Amino acid sequence: MTSAAPGGGITTIVAGYDDYGHLRACRRAFPDPNYCTDLIDQLGAFGVTYLNGASGDYGLPSPYITPRDVNLRHLVLRLAQAPNGRVRDALVGLLLRRPECASTVKDLINSPEVTANTRASLAARLLAAAALQRTHKPAFNAHEPRYMLIDVADLTTAEGLPSADDDGGRPLLAAIQNAVSSRSATIDYVVGWESAARHTLQEIAWARVNEQSLALD
């Protein structure tokens, strides 16, 4: 799978994607267990709270209260490089919870400072989030009638992938899985991405219940 690279060239985005190798490299680069705790705390500021390991789980306050406390560009980049696969997949949850963050992911994909492996991690999860939005569109719209769909037509067209709008995004999900599993055939990435979608929908539902409860008080 290829796409236009910074400067107008062509670069591999997902072909040769090796998330397992990326995970091992990240563990060597980020051995501090507090690295993931900090990422999970930052996600919480955006309403993504389904991951265990936040400061609150250890009886400590999070230093991040609202999205204004977080450098989104750094968060997205660090999620793509996280040493834990479930934390990396939380980027899908962030995009589903806050679709407006997709513009930051796209900027990083096109940044000359991003490595090929990180670009692959970002692109795969951006495409997965866009597909899952369509798969679960009725549920998202039920909670948020003005829910914003992520536009990935530029990526899918450039790389010869199915449109995110085809058959509820399912062909695109399958195509991404086929591409990224070429070197990690035993990993079912779609299971992890679907799990992020289910957790996100549950979090949105809880948020709506809390809002209604506060309105009644």
On whether the CB atoms of residues 123 and 158 are closer than 8 A, the answer is: no
On whether the CB atoms of residues 75 and 42 are closer than 8 A, the answer is: yes
Question: 148 pLDDT exceeds 90?
Answer: yes
Q: Summarize pLDDT for 16-42 with one digit per residue, the tens.
A: 345 555 555 555 555 566 778 899 999
Percent helix / strand / coil, the chain, rounded to 5:
65, 5, 35
Could you tell me which of 137, 133, 127, 138 has the C-alpha nearest to residue 173? 127
Band of pLDDT at residue 86, cut at 50, 70 and 90: confident
Q: What is the structure's pLDDT at 207?
A: 81
CA distances from 216 to 11, 145, 204, 210, 211 (A): 54, 22, 19, 10, 9
Q: Summarize pLDDT for 128-137 with one digit per residue, the tens.
A: 999 999 999 9
16 Cα distance to chain centroid: 19
Q: What is the structure's pLDDT at 116?
A: 82
